[in-house]
């Protein structure tokens, strides 16, 4: 089960991350996804009508979760307290760094499922569509921040470098390695 | 280069990843029922195919377009359009299975190089000669039911190239003739391009683990931490004769890396990696590893430990050489 998968944030970091739930993450992520939809509409065309489905993303090592409807420029992301019981078309659960690795293409979704690093429930067709759209999007941190050029490359290098370090520190798997 | 490495791409990003990781050729399909990986959000639009071919050619790689489902009776327009779009994009070959699609390609697109898909299940010199003589097919993708010795005998009896799967998802059935998915869901890889269509797949968790359902049938249940497989009937776990187990095939991936030299000796022209439904992380890692393995064999060097390097990417956490070594005989 995901709870036992290496790669979860250590307890100290979880405590430090707890106040994140108080930040306006939902509105910030909503703006970021809508900005990305205006810049790369083809990603959302690939999603088709599945863009109107709701996806509940539950980092197993945080006390918050995210409810996303990736409907292009009408996309919406809500940040929820973990215990909030929220119905969704699809639920994906796994360690935060692993979920982020799915977004940036570090990890293969099928391999994570085979190894039980993530768990999924709900509409499998919507999840497959979202996974494939994200796969092709080649998302970078700069896309979300909305910066390009030298500053964008700097943001990407810093965030990817930080994520790489965090994955090594938490014992996340590297590609190809069994979990 | 003595052997061609043919690699999967479900999206333009995966195509670029495959090419940059060292693929000699990439195979991909259009976003409709004309190819056997017709999953939501996957595959290429005609414009994306043009750009994909341009990118691959600029990096010295070929693009093979899979149009390998069986056309719907009386409604062949999608297959005709796919052939025209593949030629327009500058594809190096198309991979076909259906007789009518082969005939249309040979008649209306004589400059397209034709490969015969594994979906056609051509495994005898007579069948292969028919496809070669009738439609000008230049390469056969071999069914995953042949041993290395059988491949060597076959190659000695035919005058076309052969391509053999070496890694990835493993159909235990003769491809193109399996009706398990169709029986449960009404859709199949042969006609609609998708085995176990995801809209029919559901996972549910309880304290005992995860149950996998296909069209309402519970086909497997995984305990906590137990490696999982694809939600296909052929890899389902069933109770029969007082025992519960995998009746058809365990969840397992093909890995024939240790047989590359034997396959080359058997006359195989190209090695194929399965996985158009997989992410670019998988594509890059598998292609890079197999390119190193092929080059090591070319150079007469030490065999690359493919099984260990790719252990985390395989279905059910297990690997097999499949029918290439028919140890049950």
Domains of chain A, CATH where assigned: 2-170 (3.30.1050.10)
Sheet-wide strand order for B217-222: B201-206, B209-214, B217-222
Identify any residues that bridge with B240 across adjacent strands, giving them in sequence order: B243
Reply yes or no on whether the pLDDT at A2 is more than 50: no
pLDDT at B327: 66
Q: How many residues does chain A have?
A: 179
Note whether B311 contacts A177, CB cutoff 8 Å: yes
**Chain A neighbors of B198, CB-CB under 8 A:** 124-125, 127-128
Q: Work out the percent of chain A whose per-residue pLDDT is above 90.
A: 32
Residue B164 has pLDDT above 80, yes or no: yes
Which is more confident, B80 or B173? B80
CA distances from B225 to B112, B127, B208, B217 (A): 48, 46, 11, 23
Q: Which of A127, A50, A134 is nearest to B14 (CA)?
A: A134
The widest CA-to-CA distance across chain B, in whole angstroms, is 59
Interface list for B 171-230 with A (CB within 8 A)? 197-199, 201-205, 210, 222, 224-230
> What's the start-to-end Cα distance of chain A, in Å?
11
Q: In this predicted model, which residue has the larger pLDDT, A52 or B309?
A: A52
Determine contact, residues B166/B263, Cβ cutoff 8 Å.
yes
Rg, C-alpha atoms of chain B = 19
Phi, psi of A93 (to 5 degrees): -130, 135
User: For B289-297, what is the mean pLDDT?
Assistant: 91
3-class DSSP assignment, residue B212: strand
- Residues B113-139 have a mean pLDDT of 97
pLDDT at B225: 79
Which backbone phi and psi does B26 adopt, to 5 degrees?
A: -125, 140
pLDDT digits (tens, 9 = 90+) for A150-171: 878 887 778 777 777 777 777 6
pLDDT number for residue A179:
45
Could you tell me if B314 lies within 8 Å of chain A, comparing CB atoms? yes
Query: B298 or B79: which carries more pLDDT confidence?
Result: B79
Provide the mean pLDDT of chain B.
92
Phi, psi dihedrals of residue B138, rounded to the nearest 5° = -105, -20
Lowest mean pLDDT among A15-19, A116-120, B37-41, B267-271: A15-19
Give me the mean pLDDT over the B71-80 stretch: 94
**Residue B4 corresponds to which tokens in the numbers above?**
């061609």
- Residue A1 pLDDT > 60, yes or no? no
Are B228 and B70 in contact, with CB atoms under 8 Å apart?
A: no
Shortest Cα distance from B131 to chain A (angstroms)? 35
Q: Which two tokens stand for residue B140?
A: 């056969």
Both structure tokens of B249: 């095939």
Q: Which of B197, B210, B289 sits opposite A119 (nearest CB)?
A: B210
**Which chain A residues have a beta carbon less than 8 Å from that of B10?**
132, 135
Which residues in chain B belong to E strands, given as ranges? 4-8, 25-28, 62-67, 93-96, 114-116, 139-141, 161-169, 201-206, 209-214, 217-222, 237-240, 243-246, 253-255, 270-273, 319-320
B241 touches A at CB < 8 Å: no
Chain A positions touching B12 (Cβ under 8 A) are: 136
A113-145 pLDDT, tens per residue?
888 888 899 999 999 999 999 989 888 777 777
Global confidence as pTM: 0.90
User: Would the CB atoms of B282 and A111 count as touching at under 8 Å?
Assistant: yes
Q: Which two tokens stand for residue A165?
A: 């370090």
Q: Where in chain B is the domain with CATH 3.20.20.70?
A: 4-170+252-324
Model pLDDT for residues B309-329, shown as the tens digit of each residue? 788 788 877 888 888 887 655
What DSSP element (H or E) covers A65? strand A64-69
- A118 and A97 in contact (C-beta within 8 Å)? no
Task: Tell me which chain A residue has its CA closest to the CA of residue B40.
Answer: A129
B297-303 contacts, C-beta under 8 A, 24 or more apart: B297/B260, B297/B261, B297/B264, B298/B1, B298/B2, B298/B3, B303/B257, B303/B258
Gyration radius (Cα) of chain A, Å: 16
- Indicate the helix (H) or strand (E) that contains B131: helix B125-135
Flag the least confident range among A101-110, B40-49, B320-329. B320-329
Determine which of A68-72, B40-44, B93-97, B320-324 has the lowest per-residue pLDDT on average.
Answer: B320-324
Among A residues 127-146, those touching chain B with beta carbons less than 8 Å apart? 127-133, 135-138
CA distance B64 to chain A (A): 19
CB < 8 Å to B40, chain A:
48, 50, 125-126, 128-129, 132
State yes or no: pLDDT of A175 exceeds 70. no
Higher pLDDT, A83 or B229: B229
Q: Which residue has the higher pLDDT, B241 or A83?
A: B241
Beta-carbon separation of B40 and A126 below 8 A: yes
CB B201 within 8 A of CB A127: no
pLDDT at residue B251, as a whole number:
86
Which residue in B has a C-alpha nearest to residue A104's C-alpha?
A: B281
Quick check: A140 and A28 in contact, CB under 8 A?
no
The topology under which CATH files domain B4-170+252-324 is: TIM Barrel (3.20.20)
* SS3 of residue A8 by DSSP: coil
Which of the residues B313, B316, B317 would you substitute to probe the A interface, choosing the one with the greatest number of A C-beta atoms within 10 Å?
Answer: B313
Higher pLDDT, A8 or B63: B63
The arithmetic mean of pLDDT across residues B6-23, rounded, is: 96
Which residues from chain B sit within 8 angstroms of residue A47, using beta carbons? Answer: 41
Contacts of A171 (CB under 8 A, 6+ apart): A6, A7
Min Cα–Cα distance to chain B from A24, Å? 31
Percent of chain B past pLDDT 70, that is, above it, reads: 98
Pick B234 or B302 by higher pLDDT.
B234
Counting residues of chain B whose pLDDT is more than 90, the rounded percentage is: 68
Other CB atoms within 10 Å distance of the CB of residue A157:
12
The answer to whether A100 contacts chain B (CB < 8 Å) is no
pLDDT score recorded for residue B207: 78
Q: Is B168 left (phi over 0), alpha (psi -120 to 50) or beta?
A: left
Kindly give the pairing relationship between strand B25-28 and strand B4-8.
parallel
**Among B163, B199, B195, B159, residue whose Cα is nearest residue B64:** B163
- Whole-number mean pLDDT of chain A? 82
pLDDT at B172 over 90: no
pLDDT for the residue numbered A3: 39
């Amino acid at each position: 089960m995901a709870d036992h998968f290496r790669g979860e944030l250590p307890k100290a970091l979880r405590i430090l991350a707890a106040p994140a739930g108080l930040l306006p993450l939902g509105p910030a992520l909503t703006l970021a996804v809508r900005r990305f939809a205006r810049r790369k509409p083809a990603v959302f065309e690939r999603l088709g009508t599945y863009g109107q489905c709701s996806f509940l993303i539950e980092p197993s090592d945080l006390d918050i979760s995210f409810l996303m409807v990736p409907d292009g420029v009408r996309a919406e992301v809500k940040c929820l307290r973990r215990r909030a019981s929220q119905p969704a078309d699809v639920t994906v659960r796994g360690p935060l760094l692993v979920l982020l690795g799915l977004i940036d293409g570090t990890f293969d979704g099928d391999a994570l499922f085979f190894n039980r690093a993530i768990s999924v429930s709900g509409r499998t067709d919507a999840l497959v569509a979202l996974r494939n759209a994200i796969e092709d999007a080649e998302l970078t941190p700069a896309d979300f921040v909305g910066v390009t050029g030298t500053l964008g490359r700097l943001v990407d290098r810093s965030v990817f470098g930080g994520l790489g370090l965090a994955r090594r520190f938490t014992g996340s798997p590297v590609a190809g390695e069994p979990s | 280069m003595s052997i061609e490495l043919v690699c999967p791409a479900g999206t333009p990003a995966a195509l670029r990843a495959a090419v940059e990781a060292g693929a000699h050729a990439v195979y991909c399909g259009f976003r409709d029922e004309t190819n056997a990986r017709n999953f939501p959000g996957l595959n290429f639009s005609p414009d994306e195919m043009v750009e994909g071919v341009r990118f691959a050619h600029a990096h010295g790689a070929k693009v093979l377009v899979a149009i390998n489902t069986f056309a719907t009776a009386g409604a062949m327009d999608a297959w005709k359009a796919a052939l025209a779009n593949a030629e327009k994009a500058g594809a190096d070959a198309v991979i076909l299975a259906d007789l009518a699609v082969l005939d249309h390609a040979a008649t209306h697109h004589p400059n397209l190089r034709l490969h015969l898909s594994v979906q056609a299940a051509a495994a005898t010199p007579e069948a292969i000669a028919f496809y070669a003589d009738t439609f000008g097919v230049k390469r056969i993708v071999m069914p995953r039911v042949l041993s290395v010795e059988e491949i060597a005998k076959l190659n000695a009896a035919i005058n076309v190239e052969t391509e053999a799967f070496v890694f990835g998802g493993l159909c235990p059935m003769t491809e193109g003739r399996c009706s398990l998915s169709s029986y449960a869901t009404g859709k199949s890889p042969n006609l609609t391009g998708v085995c176990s269509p995801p809209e029919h797949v559901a996972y549910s968790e309880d304290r005992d683990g995860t149950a996998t359902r296909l069209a309402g049938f519970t086909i497997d249940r995984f305990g906590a931490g137990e490696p999982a497989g694809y939600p296909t009937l052929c890899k389902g776990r069933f109770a029969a004769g007082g025992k519960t187990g995998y009746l058809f095939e365990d969840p397992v991936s093909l890995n024939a890396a240790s047989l590359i030299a034997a396959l080359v000796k058997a006359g195989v022209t190209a090695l194929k990696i399965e996985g158009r439904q997989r992410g670019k992380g998988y594509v890059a890692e598998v292609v890079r590893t197999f390119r190193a393995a092929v080059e090591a064999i070319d150079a007469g060097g030490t065999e690359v430990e493919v099984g260990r390097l790719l252990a985390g990417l395989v279905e059910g956490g297990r690997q097999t050489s499949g029918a290439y070594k028919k140890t049950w005989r």
